[in-house]
Amino acid sequence: MDFLPISKEDMDKQGIEQLDFVYVIGDAYVDHPSFGHAIISRVLQANGYRVGIISQPDWKDERSITVLGKPKLGFLISGGNMDSMVNHYFVSGKHRPSDAYTPGGEPYKRPDHATVVYGNLIRRVYKDVPVIVGGIEASLRRMAHYDYWSDSFKRSILLDSQADLISYGMGEKSIVEIADALAGGIAVKDITFIPGTVYKTKDITGIYDAIRLPSYEEMKSVPRRYAESFQVQYCNTDPFVGKTLIEEYPHGVFVVQNPPQPPLTTQEMDAVYDLPYMRTYHPSYEAAGGVPAISEIKFSLVSNRGCFGGCNFCALTFHQGRTVQVRSHESILREAEGMIREKDFKGYIHDVGGPTANFRRPSCQKQMTQGVCKHRQCLFPEPCPNLEVDHSDYLSLLRRLRALPGVKKVFIRSGIRFDYLMADRDDTFFRELVEHHVSGQLKVAPEHISDAVLQKLGKPKKAVYERFVRKYYRLNEQLGRKQFLVPYLMSSHPGSTLKEAIELAEYLRDLGYMPEQVQDFYPTPSTVSTVMYYTGIDPRDGKKVYVCRNPHEKAMQRALIQYRNPNNYELVREALIKGGREDLIGFDKKCLIRPRNIQRNKGSHADAGHDSGRGVRKPDNMKTGKKKTIRNVHHKKGKS
């Protein structure tokens, strides 16, 4: 087995005169199952199709799209493993200095809105070749959506990219059905029947049992209509109950979304991950130092996909769905055994997980025959009475991985859903998590501690997190471990005023902890939280919600989380005054900052209580008398 062709020379060596599909991607070519382009291209290859890769073409040069010639069946496009705008920009709008998905980490190797730019580039050169777009950028922009970076309401990416079809979601099933239809001689304009796809048409008379969404023009002029539309879309992301959705555009054009593809069975998941991947980046990137992203996933194992966690700021519901799909132990163990044989494997498996590591089963058996509940979440605001909490399968898998010859340690770095963990009456998994699978610190995502904000986040109440913290440290003490928690925290999420931001700062004061990094809320396409940000309305109930859009107030909310940083003093002071909390400016042990230009005697609380400690201490009833610190605090988008 070899890499797929990236040049005419490769095609000649592999005896290929014409490719069936040319796959244009915004990332470097990495033939590893953590990269969507690798999965889709290998799945097509396994079904008898010849696929070539054009990675990061020069979008200013039409010749860059012709290097593999004209494909027989069509072009495929993916903007990359991340939305290209998230890949390029911090939430502040500042350009990121590097790109982990590009050789050598070099930035600026893909355009903004890459899927749209690549689609138009292809259309200028090949006007009659079918174009199918997919990947997370196309998936989350498949219908009209708010675009944070341009602060505008955009059309479906299907129209702006001039593509014929969108394959949304994970795409393994729909891309094969599309390929088979094209190979069978069906014109791309007539491929309107495949689940997991979006198409455009001027005739909807033959579409039955569909839901008409508000028109694009209506949503653009009345944001509340977009909130209403989004809620309908959110309730139709399940293949068992999802309806066809229709969105009207000017000039008689309709964008039609078919219901999602069914979730993969365990056997289908195994087949996808057992394909003959090269498991690394293309050797042509060696001179540039390789592709940085490989270091995070080379010795990690994907155990599952899908998430019933329902976090409002996360797009997983729209992309992977709420039904958890899992690989078999045997498939994962085979992959692990292959990793062990690699010369640079040091004995450490970095992760065994997915969107949420400790989800290894559907939340209830009803999901597998009747789908997920449209108007009810599995864990929020409280665990559903029908929720089946069981870590035994995941625990068994971890034990088998730990027992493999050559494995020293198996870590869990994917998000652990702590409320699901706390709902388990059997402590065996929690105990073994602490004993075997934490590398000094466990990262979890409470996101905030104000119940009012947590309600908008779709996260459990503060009390649940506090019970988890106490239990985590109690288990550490029982097992003789000295391990810490790294809580991911978010500022400026819809619903957070200065009052709630100050409440979070007081909580951190009581912990004796200041995060090294803070994630400001990032409005990415197709999340409940982004709809709140754009419309000022919670689409779940239609009620108004406070939204912090002012950059200066956002800076104040962010500074409050890091109130001990001297560079944040003026912002914190202003926030406390505006929030009516001047009582927190002073020398009392409860104060966040001192008054300016006032000194206290050496040895007073002013010296002792405002250190720059960065660690999460044990709760008061767990203290050992020594202050602990942790490092490496950061926030990863979409983790639970």
pLDDT tens digits for 452-490?
A: 999 999 999 999 999 999 999 999 999 999 999 999 999
pLDDT tens, position by position, 305-318: 999 998 999 999 89
**Rounded Cα gap, residues 106 and 93, in angstroms:** 18
| pLDDT at residue 623 is higher than 60 | no
pLDDT tens, position by position, 378-418: 999 999 999 999 999 999 999 999 999 999 999 999 889 99
**Rounded Cα gap, residues 105 and 90, in angstroms:** 16
Burial 25-63 (b: 16+ CB within 10 A, else e): bbbbbbbbbbbbbbbbbbbbbeeebbbbbbbbbebeeee
Specify the pLDDT at position 636: 36
Q: Fold for domain 8-194?
A: Rossmann fold (3.40.50)
| pLDDT at residue 556 is higher than 50 | yes
Specify the pLDDT at position 639: 39
Mean pLDDT (the chain) is: 92
Specify the pLDDT at position 603: 42
The residues spanned by each domain of the chain are 8-194, 299-439, 444-640
**Rounded Cα gap, residues 287 and 290, in angstroms:** 7
**Rounded Cα gap, residues 293 and 276, in angstroms:** 20
Distance of CA 228 to the CA centre of its chain: 24
Q: Which residues pair with 544 in a beta bridge?
A: 537
Query: Residue 274: is it exposed, middle or buried by C-beta count within 10 angstroms (0-12/13-18/19+)?
Result: middle
Specify the pLDDT at position 604: 40
Structure confidence at residue 375 as a pLDDT band (50, 70, 90):
confident
Q: Per mean pLDDT, which range of 20-29, 225-234, 618-627 is the poorest?
A: 618-627
Amino acid at 52: G
Please spell the DSSP secondary structure of 582-621, one letter per residue.
GGGBSSSTT-SBPPTT----TTSHHHHS-------PPPGG
| DSSP structure class, residue 105 | G
| DSSP structure class, residue 391 | -
Q: Which residues pair with 247 in a beta bridge?
A: 255
Selected from 3.30.750.200, 3.20.20.140, 3.40.309.10, 3.40.50.2030, the CATH number assigned to the domain covering 444-640 reads 3.30.750.200
Specify the pLDDT at position 608: 35
Q: Decide: 166 and 318 in contact? Cβ < 8 Å.
A: no
Specify the pLDDT at position 492: 97
**Rounded Cα gap, residues 522 and 249, in angstroms:** 28
**Rounded Cα gap, residues 44 and 20, in angstroms:** 10
Q: What is the pTM of this model?
A: 0.91
pLDDT tens, position by position, 85-96: 999 999 999 999
Q: Which residue has 């069978």 as its token pair? A: 184
pLDDT tens, position by position, 30-42: 999 999 999 999 9
**Rounded Cα gap, residues 536 and 533, in angstroms:** 6
8-194 and 444-640 share one fold: no
Please spell the DSSP secondary structure of 259-303, one letter per residue.
PPPPPPPHHHHHHHHTS----EE-GGGGGGT--TTHHHHTTEEE-
| pLDDT at residue 117 is higher than 60 | yes
CATH architecture, domain defined by 299-439: 2-Layer Sandwich (3.30)
Specify the pLDDT at position 596: 83
**Rounded Cα gap, residues 490 and 456, in angstroms:** 12
Structure confidence at residue 279 as a pLDDT band (50, 70, 90):
very high
Specify the pLDDT at position 625: 37
Across the range 57-76, mean pLDDT stands at 98
Specify the pLDDT at position 619: 53
**Rounded Cα gap, residues 402 and 409, in angstroms:** 7
Distant-in-sequence, close-in-space partners of 152: CB < 8 Å, separation ≥ 6: 146
| pLDDT at residue 637 is higher than 60 | no
pLDDT tens, position by position, 211-241: 999 999 999 999 999 999 999 999 999 999 9
pLDDT tens, position by position, 601-619: 444 433 333 433 334 545 5
**Rounded Cα gap, residues 325 and 272, in angstroms:** 12
